[in-house]
Amino acid sequence: MSVLLEHNIIEWEAAMAVRSGNENHASTSRSASEVELQAEAQRLRTRLKPVVDQHNLYLEDVEVKVAGSHRTVHVVVDLPEESTGSVGFDVISAISTDLSTAMDSLEDDDRPYNLEVSSPGVSRPLTEPRHWRRNVGRMVEVKPVTGDVILGRLQEVSDTGIRLIPQLPVKKGMKPKQGEPLALEFSKIRKGTVQVEFAHLEDEHHDDSDGADPEISGAVHHA
């Protein structure tokens, strides 16, 4: 009886060891794949940035995703931080063609890909000083590291933080009230997002000749 029990324990330990080894191997493979994709994205950033600069735009991000043999390169471009408005669809279309040409000219990479180009849109989290500067004058929601969420009009942005006019909570149907200007350091901010306002959306549509919504404007190229 004891021999049989000992034999079962040994088999169980062996099975667990194999399972653990398989899980470790899968985890290592995922990590290696993620590192490879990040390295490829960085290489493409270096190659594509001059093209974006030629269009007087800012290269916000390059992301590479792979599903089987299918590879998608997602490029996000934005206006310079001193500019107002959003990237119009006509601009997205023009730069997509040039970015596709630049990628086709890569001598060390002939794999097929789908190129997606878009602008960030108002739903983008505000994670860098330039993101905040691009949205001066807008209503923003700020989640501090500690304390309650703050809703207010972004007034100015420095290298170390922001200054906003808080919107005080009022009863439904009452006119919004503003509080005293409030300064917050970036180190004290956990998350920031722009709040959509109809008036600002209308302004953006006037800024773009084609009326493209900055949230969804984009172009896809296949190669």
Mean pLDDT by 10 residues, the chain (223 residues): 58 63 57 84 93 95 88 93 84 94 80 89 86 92 94 94 91 83 96 79 43 45 59
HSE-up of residue 153 (Cα within 13 Å, Cβ side)? 13
Let me know: does 99 contact 106? Beta carbons within 8 Å: no
Nearest to 119 by CA among 93, 141, 98, 101: 93
CA distances, 57 to each of 5, 116, 171, 179 (Å): 70, 16, 43, 36
How far apart CA 30 and CA 21 sit, in angstroms, is 14
How far apart CA 133 and CA 117 sit, in angstroms, is 23
Q: Identify the residue whose tokens are 């969420």.
A: 149
Max Cα distance, the chain (Å) = 84
pLDDT at 48: 95
pLDDT at 174: 78
pLDDT at 209: 38
Nearest to 134 by CA among 199, 76, 31, 58: 58
Q: Are strands 70-78 and 114-118 parallel, antiparallel or unpaired?
A: parallel
Q: Identify the residue whose tokens are 């994670």.
A: 127
pTM: 0.65
Token pair in block for residue 87 = 């990237």
How far apart CA 92 and CA 74 sit, in angstroms, is 13
pLDDT at 4: 55
Token pair in block for residue 21 = 């080894």
How far apart CA 150 and CA 181 sit, in angstroms, is 12
**Phi, psi dihedral angles at 187 (to 5 degrees):** -65, -15
How far apart CA 143 and CA 128 sit, in angstroms, is 15
How far apart CA 152 and CA 9 sit, in angstroms, is 63
SS3 content of the chain, % helix, strand, coil (to 5): 40, 30, 35
How far apart CA 7 and CA 22 sit, in angstroms, is 23
Let me know: does 72 contact 112? Beta carbons within 8 Å: no
